[in-house]
Amino acid sequence: MQKWRRSLSILERRKDTVSLQRFVHNGPDTLEELLDRHLEKRENKKSLDDDEEELLSRQRLTSTRREALSLYRDILRATRFFMWPDERGVLWRDILRESVRKEFEEARFEKDPEIVTRLLIGGRDAVQSALEKLAEKQRQQIDKEGRGGGDRR
């Protein structure tokens, strides 16, 4: 850009500036106008070719897969805290893991990004609320044991 400005200032000093000024005056007034005329604009290109569309689709799919995997791992980690058995004697940890696996398998081939996002957000919220409830119950249990143990002394 500076090279062009230098060249332009040199030419303006010369005597044939009348024709140059006329040429520059009829051209674009600003650099943006010049670039707008000569560079291809992406916004005007409404339809993407198949390769670009597939690439964008893969990128979106990859990020949602990564998020889903992260959620799945977080859920598996959270199930470690559910170590008590149900009425049948089966650990809640195992029941929760089977249920999570089933739900993830059912949603495995979902293509609609809105539904996938909704599922991911719902899953995150469910894990968070379950862990908060578990922590609250544990606090209550500790407080109850602490008060009960203090009365015995």
For residues 92 and 84, the answer to whether their CB atoms sit within 8 Å is yes
For residues 28 and 34, the answer to whether their CB atoms sit within 8 Å is yes
What angle in degrees, to the nearest 10, is found between the helix axes of 17-26 and 2-13? Answer: 140
For residues 68 and 104, the answer to whether their CB atoms sit within 8 Å is yes
Q: Count helices and strands (H / E) in the chain.
A: 6, 0
91 bridge partner residues:
85
Question: What would the mean pLDDT of 57-65 be, rounded to a whole number?
Answer: 76
Q: For residues 90 and 48, which has the higher predicted lDDT (pLDDT)? A: 90
Residue 149, both tokens:
């143990």
What is the average pLDDT score of the chain? 77
The model's pLDDT over 12-29, given as tens digits with 9 standing for 90+, comes to 555 444 444 444 445 555
